Amino acid sequence: MSEQSPLNSLSLLFFFFFTLLASTAESRLTTDFYSKSCPRFHAIVRDTISNKQITNPTTAAAVLRLFFHDCFPNGCDASILISSTAFNTAERDSSINLSLPGDGFDVIVRAKTALELACPNTVSCSDIISAATRDLLVTVGGPYYQVFLGRRDSRISKASLLADLLPLPSSPISKTIHQFESRGFSVQEMVALSGAHSIGFSHCKEFIGRVARNSTGYNPRFAVALRKACSNYPKDPTLSVFNDINTPNKFDNMYYQNIPKGLGLLESDHGLYSDPRTRPFVDLYARDQDRFFKEFAKAMQKLSLYGVQTGRRGEIRRRCDAIN
């Protein structure tokens, strides 16, 4: 019998440890947490996100990215929403979060304002993010999944605590896999969550260097189109391109179908197909959208339970951008 490597043993330990934490968190959260204290919670969130999505169709992608950037580093605690002060640089002002679209922050603030009018000092900002993310995904064609509620908001938000905790578009696939496994997520769950790139856009700075180097992986015609779209990037750093050029505003499995054709936008997208650990799942989701939706929903629910604060930990913020 071959011996298990220390790295594999450590990954397994992380997996079981996270599974225990997730089950503990789930036992403290419930799907009907606000049924008595704020019975219109879901209706208010849905009304708010629907109005915002109609006027700004990129809102769904913005909130999905906000959710990931809040939950993945240190848990789903709405620390991403806190504004910096003269004495503290908050997470939202760290270099990796500066490109987060304003529509994501705006819709959460709108929902919180409406909920404070209906149910003062009752609903946490972290619960709003989780519920709004699920509801917005559904509006653009994504899968429905249950959202457990009862999170409390963090009293801490420091940019310095984010160092190397979020995957970068340019990160080697091995590093990204390690970042997910250290939080209890399998390779398959990582690939499923990467499907979030089915909607939204990326700024030219995230990929133009790779395109300019004529790096292998890009479809030649796609590379030409990207260079043209980003030709004025040095003068206009806000230039961006849709992550999925075929169905940019619809949540589907086209993202996975694009990658083998050289139509992936980011280096991390190409990495999913070049690595033998992740490629089988790209192929699986490319041919089976139902399977992708099922695995994505499970992974999103799992991520929404990561590192949550409940009970006496944390607080219910009166304003999402400031600690009470």
**Which of the residues are catalytic?**
69
CA–CA dist 77, 153 (Å, integer): 5
Nearest to 322 by CA among 159, 116, 154, 163: 154
> 78 Cβ partners below 8 Å, 6+ apart?
70, 124, 125, 126, 128, 129, 151, 153, 154, 317, 320
Let me know: does 160 contact 88? Beta carbons within 8 Å: no
DSSP for 176-232, please give it.
Answer: HHHHHHTTT--HHHHHHHHGGGGSSEEEGGGTHHHHHTT-TTS-HHHHHHHHHHTTT
CA–CA dist 272, 190 (Å, integer): 10
> DSSP secondary-structure letter at 19?
H
Bridge partners of 153? 315
Let me know: does 316 contact 152? Beta carbons within 8 Å: yes
Biggest CA pair distance of the chain: 64
Work out the end-to-end distance of the chain between its first and last CA atoms, rounded to an integer number of angstroms: 57
> 300 Cβ partners below 8 Å, 6+ apart?
133, 134, 137, 145, 193
Bridge partners of 322? 319
